[in-house]
Amino acid sequence: MIHPPRQILPSLLISRCLKSFSLAWVLVASSFTAPATAQPPAPQIQLMGNRFLTLNTVVRVRQIEVTRDTAHGPDESSVHTPAEARAFREAIDQAWPGARITWAFSWLALHDEREGYRDLRELVVGYHQKFGDEITFIPGAYFANMYNSRDQVNRDLRDGLRRVSEIVGDGYRPKSVVAGFLSAANLRYLAEEEGIHVCQGNIWSQYAVDNGDGEGSVAYPYYPSREHFCKPARGKDDFIDCVNLDGWTVDFLCARLPGSKIVAGERWRSRQGVGPIETLLDMGTDRGLKAMLATTATHFDDGFKRNGFAWVTCGWEMGLVEARKIYGYGGRNGMEGLHLWLTETRKRWPDAKLVTQGEFGLLWRGHFKNNDALDYQFVHRGAGIRASEADLEIRWFMNRDFRLALLRNWKEDGKEKIIDFTRYDLPAAEPADPESGGHSRNWSLINRINQKGTRPQDTPVPLTGLTDEERVLVRRHYPELLDSPAAAE
């Protein structure tokens, strides 16, 4: 064996020690430092026994992009910049660390090559990598079927989703789509052709608001029928494997209104709930926050006990971060209220999960294989804020066969009356495609009695006002309602 000269042994030992130390340090450091682009692992959770909040935002160029080439309303590019996106996302992260939200890009926002939109897309991709946010597509800015043929909507979904995948890279594919309203045929296309099984495809109770009506659905998730997107599927031949989600949780009492009305100098609005337009931006932070928390509590307190899980959802369009620049809103932008709502929700319900729309929908899909076991029940007493009248109590019952709402004056121990009985066991049909350049507004499912009260037959009736056939249908699900003293009067 040949030994090195004695005088260089110390330097070799030092070198080897340094190398060993460096390697050990790299191994230790790597165990603590994740790659900058790595998503945090999603915790393993289940549907039942949990409270969920989903928060979506829409990135667009024009207020309502009805087709690829046609838009209505103001140009919102000045309030869709990286600055607004950063302010919005940072407010959420500060109030709810670990939250994962859903970003939906319109057609124009996906393709606008101005520097601001390129930077905005890059920023949101960074949020996907950092927080695990979902990035997806919104066709037609909430009203795709009101202005486009079903075939065109399918093409938009195909091309829009491909564009999202290109922008995000690494083989990314959204778990869901934001759509506002989406026809049954397009929901089926998403499931069978695009492999997407979750869609925000109805806006519960919306009627006489904005550019489209879609009244008549169930408020919580369901598998839609091939006949009508508002109707739950009732069998294998009728089944679409795409979980249909509401877009905004609203106050059940306010939802009775068709649109809005002026009462005592104030506007009562049907969409009052957790959305910022009808609460924070309209009423100010203090009163608006109370309305939002009252709606949240209906689901996270009593609703959680009745249904075994609870869900609140909100669409906070990115144009609302600085909407005062375009729409006024009394100089308010609602960001303080957003922070307070999320902070207070975490404080009251510390176990609540703020997850992406796709995550929640797939959790529901994993638990419910069809609509057979659907039985949603809600009881809501008014918050005393505008149309959420303090002396009223509403009870909702929702399943695959019907939805039923009972209203009473609880302070006077009043008798309940039926204000909504929408039957899903009856045939239903959606409108035909709009004519080219036309507008097909009303896609509602309204039959026996409807909560909006727009027809003479919608006059509230007692439980005794049901026909024998209807009583059999209700008894199949809720015999206690018909066996009560009130039902016999």
pLDDT in tens, 381-392: 999 999 999 999
DSSP-assigned beta bridge partners for residue 310: 51
Query: Sign of the CA dihedral 165, 167, 168, 169?
Result: positive
- The string of pLDDT tens digits covering residues 199-211 is 999 999 999 999 9
User: Which domains are assigned to the chain?
Assistant: 51-367 (3.20.20.510), 376-488 (3.30.1120.110)
Q: Give a three-class secondary structure readout of the chain.
A: CCCCCHHHHHHHHHHHHHHHHHHHHHHHHHHHCCCCCCCCCCCCCCCCCCEEEEEEEEECCEEECCCCCCCEEEECHHHCCHHHHHHHHHHHHHHCCCCCCEEEECHHHHHCCCHHHHHHHHHHHHHHHHHCCEEEECCHHHCHHHHCCHHHHHHHHHHHHHHHHHHHCCCCCCCCEECCCCCHHHHHHHHHCCCCCEEECCCCCCCCCCCCECCCCCCCCECEECCCCCCECCCHHHECCCEECCCCCECCCHHHCCCEEEECCEEEECCCECCCCCCHHHHCHHHHHHHHHHHHHHHHHHHHHHHCCEEEEEECCHHHCCHHHCCCHHHCCCHHHHHHHHHHHHHHCCCCEEECHHHHHHHHHHHCCCCCCCCEEEEEECCCECCECCCEEEEEEECCCEEEEEEEECCCCCCCEEEEEEECCCCCCCCCCCCCCCCCCECCCCCCECCCCCCHHHCCECHHHCCHHHHHHHHHHCHHHHCCHHHHC
Residue 15 has pLDDT above 70, yes or no: no
pLDDT attached to residue 330: 79
Residue 23 pLDDT exceeds 50: no
Is the pLDDT higher at 233 or at 36?
A: 233
Residue 7 has pLDDT above 60, yes or no: no
> Who contacts 336 (Cβ-Cβ below 8 Å, separation ≥6)?
285
Q: What is the pLDDT of residue 488?
A: 58
At residue 28, the pLDDT reads: 31
What type of residue sits at position 289?
A: L
* Confidence category of residue 3, pLDDT binned at 50, 70, 90: very low
Q: Which residues of 36-68 are buried (b: 16+ CB within 10 A; e: fewer)?
A: eeeeeeeeeeebeebbbbbbbbbbbbbbbbbbb
pLDDT digits (tens, 9 = 90+) for 367-384: 999 999 999 999 999 999
Residue range 101-128, pLDDT digits in tens: 999 999 999 999 999 999 999 999 999 9
Place of tokens 């124009």: 108
Distance CA 300, CA 311 (A): 7
Residue type, 260: S
Q: Give me the pLDDT at residue 40, please.
A: 53
Beta-carbon contacts of 73 under 8 Å, excluding residues fewer than 6 positions away, are 62, 63, 64
Across the chain, what does the average pLDDT equal? Answer: 91
How many C-beta atoms surround the C-beta of residue 185 within 10 A?
Answer: 18
